[in-house]
A and B are shown apart, each in its own frame.
Chain A
Amino acid sequence: MKELFPAKQVMGFVFSLILTVVALLVYFTDMSFAVGMTVLLITAFIQAFLQLVVFMHAGESKDGSAIYTNVFYGVVIALVTIFGSLLILIWDM
């Protein structure tokens, strides 16, 4: 029976619910902007990664490394774009 029960997925589901609750706390409690934003960013990225690995099964097929390379490339470009834009339009304007 053990191999039929999707333990990993159930754990993942519970964990993603916890992450959602933590993110909601930002709205319902009285946090400063900086703390709230930090909580949101951290929970959002863990959430996204969780979905990708547990529910979209990244890394389970034989082209797992290609998927992670793609994700890594995408994250690098996204970060460059965001921080570059901040640099251009706010920090160094």
Chain B
Amino acid sequence: MEFFERFAVPHASPMIYASMVAIALVSIGIVVGITYFKKWGYLWREWFTTVDHKKIGIMYLISALLMLFRGGADAILMRAQLSAPEMKLLDAQHYNEIFTTHGVVMIIFMAMPFIFAFMNLIVPLQIGARDVAFPRLNALSFWLFFAGAMLFNISFVVGGSPDAGWTSYFPLAGNDFSTSVGTNYYMIAIQISGIGSLMTGINMITTILKMRAPGMTLMKMPMFTWSAFIANVIIVFAFPVLTIALLMGTTDRLFGTNFFTTTNGGMDMLWANFFWVWGHPEVYILILPAFGIYSEVISTFSSRNLYGYKSMVGSMVLISLLSFLVWTHHFFTMGQGALTNSIFSITTMAIAVPTGVKIFNWLFTMYKGKIRFTVPMLYSLGFIPLFTVGGVTGVMLAMSAADYQFHNTMFLVAHFHNTIIPGVVFAMLAGLTYYWPKFFGFMLNEKIGKITFWLLTVGFVLAFFPMYITGLDGQARRMYTYSEATGFAPLNMLSFVGAALMAIGFVTIVYNIYYSFKNSPRDIGSDPWDARSLEWATHTPVPEYNFARVPQVASSEAFWDMKKKGHQLFKGEIKDIHMPNNSGVPFVMGIIFFIAGFSFIFAMWVPAVIALIGIFVCMALRSFEQDHGRHIHVKEIKEIEAQYGEVPGNENRSHTTTRV
């Protein structure tokens, strides 16, 4: 029994026991269900072993939505706890765990897979490629992310959640103050999914540099591809810092090293420094692909080409550089001198310039455009003013002298939610609605989508704008309760109402998917939005080889040119297509990484070493494996193409467009 005691939750509550039961029941239900419907073979063949960028993208998408609800449940619990003074819903320890997991889940396991979902789904199609450069590595990236996410999510029922904040500052995160295995979960789970992110970064950069369709120079790439490219460059340069910081933190906690301790020559502030050297670029890793999606959506639904293409690209390159020059603004109050703070204040404010350029470009794109108020466009229109408010409060926070007042208050919490929710979450939902028909063959219901948009927008404003006020009045973040005398109660209640509206909004998304699946028409053609760039030039849903013939590109809006200017997108004969083979190895490696991570977390060295050997065996096997892929032959391609009927962009047939 002693062996199993380590897995007990140190700070259990009825809510956690209920979750345990629920997790057990759901897991059993899933296994029984799949077995009953005899779907194991299908899942293994079509999903677990797939290397197809579209299927991997869909798996990222599903995972991101699941994690959105996990993180959302944390959020609504926090707002409920703070909705009234002296609330007894959560105690201090439980509240600590929840704000920690909320932050980690939302950033690492919701926002990251969401952007990876769109990069996987869209980038190869936008550049006219058949898959990413390293399809099997892509599958491995996904399964590592998934292993990390699952590992992190079992923490609250096995051994206890991390409770040192999503920034996990030392010395609080050290063994002296965080005695449960929670912070080990933080270090190891993020490490595993971080390795996956780094691989995706390398994979996407190679794909974009090497696999563009003929004629597509760098300055003719669609804007989402540009944003994905820049974001992946930042990933490749920023994530190694996190990898090493997490490794040092892990050895501090597991092997008694002294990198971040306060004694024996350790330096706790070094963690904060490393964390934000990664953490600030991470913000731009999330927001740039979101900007890319807005660019596509705004241009499509304004029926105009994107205003200021070159300045869009230039401002993103500038942002990618500046994002590495500002990290100190996260800890202006740590004790460094005025000189340092002034330097980083100025670099921080400088970022507002390229961001402002982009905002104006979107406005000019809409100027005199024929705007269609579809759901994706509504999100984009909501984004511009709301995000600007977030940006302006960001400039307030950038003034280091004033930051001594704002630091660690709800003002900061309001600011970064104000940028991330309209910036990233709205973009992801816009992208979800916009690209849904491309991959699933039916549209999401516009009416329900608009209800969702308004619930989320009104909920967002109610939930977060009051925090600016309570923050300026002195409400500290991460405090689990407050007294009535503070006067914070009414505004916090308002926040709770807003959070509840947002929760309803997110539920309506699920309902919308269900409703549209049942009721939406399936004959929507391949271009339901009258869109402009190359991803719409193939069939809906997309065949596994994406394009039967490689498109010939002459501008950043090749598809629009084809529709309006008679540009010939597809020329020549259909040839055999070379495709990669499926492989079960990435899935198996994901499982082995999970086992290795779990063993490390609980310091069980025998299974840890065995699992590590297993990882190296998998890598060695891959090195000696002869796999030349397979060919889809012309006859087969023609049969598949015939099933779709009309071929968009075919030089012999005219094109039809289905309007919304």
Residue ranges of A at the interface with B (Cβ–Cβ < 8 Å)? 63, 66, 73-74, 76-77, 80-81, 84-85, 87-89, 92-93
Contact = CB atoms under 8 A, between A and B. Distances in A.
B339 A80 contact: no
B540 to A, nearest CB: 34
Contacts of A66: 209
A89 B273 contact: yes
A25 to B, nearest CB: 28
Contact of A93 (B209, B321, B324, B336): B336
Contact of B273 (A76, A88, A92): A88
Contact of A89 (B209, B233, B237, B269): B269
Given A89-B336, A92-B337, A93-B336, A77 B269 contact: no
B277 A93 contact: no
B335 interface: yes
B131 to A, nearest CB: 20
B325 A80 contact: yes
Contacts of A81: 241, 277, 324
Interface of B is mostly: helix
Contacts, number: 40
Contacts of B269: 89
Interface residues of B, number: 21
Q: Which of A63, A77, A88 gathers most chain B CB within 10 Å? A: A88
A23 to B, nearest CB: 23
B324 A80 contact: yes
Contacts of A73: 233, 237
Interface string B326-349: 011000001111011001000000
B62 interface: no
B324 A88 contact: no
A35 B10 CA distance: 53
Interface in B217-253: 233, 237, 241
B273 A93 contact: no
Contacts of A63: 209
Q: Which 9 A-B pairs have the closest CB atoms?
A: A92-B337, A92-B340, A88-B336, A77-B324, A92-B336, A77-B237, A93-B336, A92-B339, A85-B273
A59 to B, nearest CB: 16
Given A63-B209, A77-B237, A89-B273, A84 B336 contact: no
Given A88-B328, A89-B273, 17 more contacts: A63-B209, A76-B321, A77-B237, A77-B324, A80-B325, A81-B241, A84-B277, A84-B327, A87-B343, A88-B273, A88-B336, A89-B267, A89-B269, A92-B336, A92-B339, A92-B340, A93-B336
Contacts of B336: 87-89, 92-93
Contacts of A76: 321
B340 A85 contact: no
B137 interface: no
Contact of B340 (A74, A77, A87): A87
B270 interface: yes
29 contacts: A63-B209, A66-B209, A73-B237, A76-B321, A80-B324, A81-B241, A81-B324, A84-B277, A84-B325, A84-B327, A85-B270, A85-B273, A85-B277, A87-B336, A87-B340, A87-B343, A88-B273, A88-B334, A88-B336, A89-B267, A89-B269, A89-B273, A89-B336, A92-B336, A92-B337, A92-B339, A92-B340, A93-B336, A93-B337
A19 B327 CA distance: 36
A92 to B, nearest CB: 4
A92 B341 CA distance: 10
